[in-house]
């Protein structure tokens, strides 16, 4: 099953995000086919303010377990995290 993961940065953590980004990207690469796609959400000034992932997981608990190992979560970057079941109904693969 696919899950939509939306994690919003805490205010004032841009430097922490940039410092942790290499480890975050390395972690994302280890997920292989589990990570369907991912990228940052941006504000109007082109600053990264959140992370958006679509992941393959057995259930919501599995999706939570996958994301909790992300270095961004390990350093407390996010003020909130939403995980919801996602159904792809349109678009190109």
pLDDT in tens, 5-44: 999 999 999 999 999 999 999 999 999 999 999 999 999 9
Q: How far apart are the C-alpha atoms of 82 and 93, rounded to whole Å? A: 24
Answer whether 37's CB lies under 8 Å from 49's CB.
no
Cα 12 to Cα 8, 36, 53, 60, distances in angstroms:
12, 29, 22, 29
Claim: this prediction has a pTM higher than 0.85: yes
Residue 90 backbone phi and psi in degrees, to 5: -155, 165
Q: Which pLDDT band, with edges at 50, 70 and 90, does 92 fall under? A: confident
Average pLDDT, the chain: 95
Q: Which helix (H) or strand (E) holds 91?
A: none
């Amino acid at each position: 099953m696919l899950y939509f993961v939306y994690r919003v940065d805490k205010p004032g953590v841009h430097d922490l995000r940039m410092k942790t980004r290499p480890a975050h990207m390395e972690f994302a690469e280890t997920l292989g086919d589990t990570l369907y796609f991912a990228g940052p959400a941006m504000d109007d000034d082109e600053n990264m303010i959140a992370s958006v992932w679509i992941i393959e997981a057995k259930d919501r608990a599995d999706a939570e377990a996958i994301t909790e190992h992300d270095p961004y979560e390990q350093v407390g970057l996010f003020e909130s995290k939403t995980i919801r079941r996602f159904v792809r109904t349109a678009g190109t693969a």
